[in-house]
Amino acid sequence: MLNRVVLIGRLTRDPESKYTTNGIALANFGIAVDRPTRNQETGERETDFINVTAWRHTAEFVTQYLTKGRLVAVEGRLQVRSWVSQDGGRRTAYEVVADNVQGLDRPKDTDARRGPAPEGQTAQAAPAPGAPEVDDTDPFADE
């Protein structure tokens, strides 16, 4: 059996960071993923809004480096939770539990978490822990 999900989309909100009572990092965020086909009536692409949960180092990375609007790749598994609400109704939630999250674009010049970049400079995101340094002379670095 296989339960594997790979998604590419944009963050719909800044990640919400929490810690369990045991000190384990947890981050919740949403991504918007366009469907590959268009609506036959309007001709517009339809979008799915998917909740994502990340744990431990992945949660810390997401919280520290990613913000609303950033393009990300999420790899993980689909999880379905069911419960009975206080009003007696049965509820179901679908979410992706992320094993790996990667930022696919660069942050804007003004990042809310770091403030505006000094004049004449652009804001740079710090590399992910263990990521190789980027050579600025690489002609394909901006792609």
The stretches of 35-136 forming alpha helices (DSSP H) are: 56-65
Q: Give the predicted TM-score (pTM) of the model.
A: 0.70
Query: Which amino acid, one-letter code, is at 115?
Result: G
- Alpha carbons 15 and 63: distance in angstroms, whole number: 6
Q: Could you count the other beta carbons within 10 Å of the beta carbon of residue 138?
A: 9
* 3-class SS shares of the chain: helix, strand, coil, % to 5: 5, 50, 45
- Quote the distance between the C-alpha of residue 11 and its chain's center: 5
* Res 113: pLDDT: 52
Domains of the chain: 5-116 (2.40.50.140)
Q: What are the pLDDT digits (tens) for 89-103? A: 999 999 999 999 999
- Quote the distance between the C-alpha of residue 32 and its chain's center: 9
* Intervals of the chain under pLDDT 50: 111, 114, 117-128, 130-143
